[in-house]
Amino acid sequence: MTERIVVKIGSSSLTSDEGGLNRDRISFFANELAALQERGYQVLLVTSGAVAAGFRRIGYESRPKLVHQKQAAAAVGQALLMQAYQEAFEAYGGTGNGVAQILLTRTDFSNQRRIKNARLTIEELLRQRTVPIINENDTVATDELHMKFGDNDTLSALVANLVQAKHLIILTDTDGLYTEDPRKNPAAVRIDRVAQISEDIMKIAGGAGSSVGTGGMRSKIEAARIAMRGGVPAFIGRVTEPGDLRLAVDGYGRGTYFDTSLHTLTMKKQWVGFHSQPMGRIIVDDGAQKALLQGGSSLLPVGIRAIEGDFHSGDVVEVTNTSEQTIGRGVVNYDAWQIKAVAGLSTDEVRRRFEVSRIEVIHRDDWVTLS
């Protein structure tokens, strides 16, 4: 399979501080992406900027705060954004076949049929050397139940996993992750490579983003974590000069690289781990946690301490340890009432007392580690 690169560009990189599109920047990024395409990569772009592009055109003096106003601005801005990208790619005159728009929501990812259809569409566009330009469908997405992606950082990671990308490149206005905020402390040191995203890394990431976008460094680190869990290495950094994007892909970019030794996940495991809506929770003891995380084992009844929720066989559940830390998700083979009945029992005891088709509460083939 041709190597795929997913590039995420935020609002602050595409628009002016006052709002509206910066055509020169869009042209620059189009040239960088097209150059990757000419090198033989299949390129996907996850872009923000619809609200920022549209709010002044629709008549707002500043970026709106009410949901329906932001959605109205996005409806106007999305058309402007796609027109700008189309014209920029056409002006480049490369070997590709232009761009295509794909709008997604969290709900699309949580539905197996819909996300499979989205993947098939993306695959066909890539075969036709067309750049899929992916954005959140802001006109229908809401903040309720955490159904928004958050400045598309999370969306870019999910897309990278979906297409089994070679790299996820998240562009921002700083050249990577620093030990402290370099805007406040000039002595801060950039962290060039991260092999594991620890709590210390998350604390360093901090919070606030720009006045135009909605995402900060923390959301980008969270996106890198999702990509890494799916077997996709990530880069967070700056691309401002011609050739910078190529350098980022080649490992010499101005930013921080997040490495992973994990293999890419199958579509089924991606859905279980990242897209599904857990219907309950299973709390396991230390032995079961070790077996799941280190032994590559299935979850057996003996390791279960308690459950929460009214779920059924075939549902996805979250699995936590006794400290309430999430360690993973999986598809259960038992109804909730059955698990209550067998929790803590040995395999032999379960078989003596009950007629079960499978002894595993969660088989390792239906398990995704999130610890």
Residue 217 labeled ligand binder: yes
Residue 8 labeled ligand binder: yes
Residue 152 labeled ligand binder: yes
Residue 151 labeled ligand binder: no
Residue 172 labeled ligand binder: yes
Q: Can you give the C-alpha Rg of the chain in angstroms?
A: 22
Nearest to 235 by CA among 322, 176, 181, 279: 176
Residue 215 labeled ligand binder: yes
3-state secondary structure of 302: helix
**Which of 55-74 are b and which e, b meaning 16 or more Cβ less than 10 Å from the residue's Cβ?**
bbeeebeebbeeeeebbbbb
Q: Which residue has the tokens 């976008």?
A: 213
Residue 48 labeled ligand binder: yes
Q: What's the start-to-end Cα distance of the chain, in Å?
A: 30
Q: Which residue has the tokens 């206005």?
A: 173
Structural contact between residues 272 and 316, judged by C-beta atoms closer than 8 angstroms: yes
Residue 59 labeled ligand binder: no
Strand ranges for the chain from DSSP E: 4-9, 42-47, 99-104, 131-136, 167-171, 177-178, 190-191, 193-194, 234-238, 254-258, 281-284, 304-308, 316-320, 326-331, 367-369
Residue 214 labeled ligand binder: yes
3-state secondary structure of 122: helix
Annotated binding site for ATP: 8, 172-173, 214-220
Annotated binding site: 8, 48, 138, 152, 172-173, 214-220
Annotated binding site for substrate: 48, 138, 152
